[in-house]
Amino acid sequence: LSAAGAAKAGLDRLAQAQGRSNAFITVTKEDAMLRADQVQRLLDARRAPSPLAGVPMAFKDNICTRGVKTSCASKILGGFTPPYDATVAERLDAAGCISLGKLNMDEFAMGSTTETSFYGPVQNPWDPSRVPGGSSGGAAAAVAEGSVWYAIGSDTGGSIRQPAAYCGVTGMKPTYGTVSRYGLIAYASSLDQMGPIARSAADCAAVLDVIQGRDPRDGTSLDAPAGGLLSGLTGDVRDKRIGLPADCFGDGLDGEVRAAVLAAADVLKQRGAVVEEFSLPVMQYVVPTYYIIAAAEASSNLSRFDGVKYGWRAQGYEDLTGLYNKTRTEGFGAEVKRRILLGTFVLSTGYYDAYYKKALQVKALIKRAFDEAFRRYDLLLTPVAPTTAPKLGESLNDPLQMYLSDIYTVSVNLAGLPGISVPCGFASDGMPIGAQLIGPALGDAAVLDAAHAFQ
Ligand code: GLN
């Protein structure tokens, strides 16, 4: 298959699916075909820059791409076309990737269903009456429907792993600081990390080999060794110690999801891993801690969208304050406003100590509890979400319930750890179920290797 053939196959599939799925916000068809010709010349000359050369992919729409609209699925960034590429886009470009466009998501990555998008919801390819998960719902749907081979998503509290689980594909949030956040429009900077959604752990490894690595343009970028993940995969889990936090298998977890994840644990056991239950009581604090910190950082990060510098501006204002008010009132959706208000509240004088400072202290406790667990275990295995994908329209009226469903994923961001979601079975209604493997900081290779055991 030539690069142009692959791009065309992806674009054809996309054209077929998009009308229903709405996975894309922007499709860059002409650019993709031009690019495919360029990359084909490299392939013909046997000068493929990476195993990803010529492979069609797409970016979540909160990742800046030079000359291509980047909206965060928000009205407020409707007219924003970045003059620069995010580091991940730059690296993938150098690796010969063919981008087919920009993927739908929850507005500013706030949500778990992709229903908060200004561009309308995305359908789950397995069942059009269900959500694809979120916030990288377009990314997971595009991979599952076969429009792209992989997508780059972002994960602040589960936004790569949970949609991957709901759509039956594989998604990895790498160790915080290993993928440069330069050019990722920030939601909660201390938690945000980009990563791949693909069809297998091996494909995720190939993508991470390209996008991980030190970048001086991101102050939190680590100077850790990068590359070699794909070539290092063995799928060998013999004698690996895998911990199952009992607190992740209790009340609130759907019975079929529990059974599927425990079956995944059995697979690892049969392959020679030592699987053991243990207690991780900090799990009861992770959701409130996450939502305080994420909202606080979001309220600060989103203050830059004021109608002056970027994107869309309201009409008919009287003075500067009026311009800010009107633009933000009309430009942000309800969920984003809720987070900004919550974040402003927990940071305000008189409440800072009780909420934000306390949350930072609990975050340190959570990190310590995970550090301790990794003294006894190489990896942890948990569910990704308490249920399979909910029906479209079910979650929007009950934000608290939606927040609670992030329980298994947010701790990984609070502790800065690598986590992957791998398909581990189906519920009786035919919807896919995901299992999550979590590793210690910089244990990305071990996480991918254990995930590879399932493929
Ligand atoms: N659902 C979580 C939230 O709404 C996680 C989102 C994300 O990881 N971007 O904050």
51 within 8 A of 147, measured Cβ to Cβ: no
Is 60 known to be catalytic? yes
Atom of ligand 1 nearest to the CA of 110: 4
Q: Which atom of ligand 1 is found nearest the CA of 158? A: 8
Q: What is the DSSP letter of 390?
A: P
Q: Considering 60, 69, 173, 240, which one is annotated as catalytic?
A: 60
What's the rounded Cα separation, in Å, for the pair 331 and 337?
10
Domain that holds residue 119: 3-211
Q: How far is the CA of 114 from the centre of ligand 1 (A)?
A: 10
Is the ipTM above a cut-off of 0.90?
yes
DSSP code for 70: -
Q: Measured from the CB, is residue 230 less than 6 Å from ligand 1?
A: no
- What is each CA distance from 399 to 137, 155, 339, 446, in whole angstroms? 17, 19, 11, 35
Taking the whole predicted model, whether its pTM rises above 0.80 is answered as: yes
Residue 295: its pLDDT value, please? Answer: 98
- Is the distance from the beta carbon of residue 159 to the nearest atom of ligand 1 less than 6 Å? yes
Catalytic residue among 50, 74, 117, 135: 135
Q: Give the position of tokens 């990190």.
A: 367
Question: Cα(159) to centroid of ligand 1, in Å?
Answer: 5
Domain harbouring 175, CATH code: 3.90.1300.10
- Flag whether 222 is in a domain: no
Our answer to whether residue 21 is catalytic in this structure is no
In a domain, 248, yes or no: no
The answer as to whether 454 is a domain residue is no
* Residue 394 within a domain: no
Residue 135 preceded by cis peptide, ω within 30: yes
- The answer to whether position 414 is within a domain reads no
Q: 274 CB contacts (<8 Å, ≥6 apart)?
A: 239, 240, 241, 242
Beta carbons of 12 and 146 less than 8 angstroms apart: no
Examine residue 171 and state whether it is found in any structural domain, yes or no. yes
- In total, how many domains does the chain have? 1
Q: Is residue 103 part of a domain?
A: yes
Radius of gyration, alpha carbons of the chain? 21
The finding on whether 110 has its CB within 6 A of some atom of ligand 1 is yes
Along the chain (455 residues), what's the average pLDDT of each consecutive run of 10 residues?
Answer: 93 94 98 97 95 97 98 95 98 98 98 98 98 98 98 98 98 98 98 98 98 98 95 97 97 96 98 98 98 98 94 94 97 98 97 97 98 98 98 92 96 98 97 98 98 93
Q: What is the pLDDT of residues 228-238, one digit of tens each?
A: 999 999 999 99
Could you give the CA distance from residue 106 to residue 137 in angstroms, rounded to a whole number?
A: 8
Q: What is the pLDDT of residues 357-369, one digit of tens each?
A: 999 999 999 999 9
Single-letter residue type at 148: V
- Is 421 part of any domain? no
Q: How far apart are the C-alpha atoms of 2 and 14, rounded to whole Å? A: 18
Answer whether 405 contacts ligand 1 (Cβ < 6 A). no
Does 292 contact ligand 1 (Cβ within 6 A)?
no
User: Catalytic one among 112, 117, 159, 405?
Assistant: 159
409 touches 384 (CB < 8 A): yes
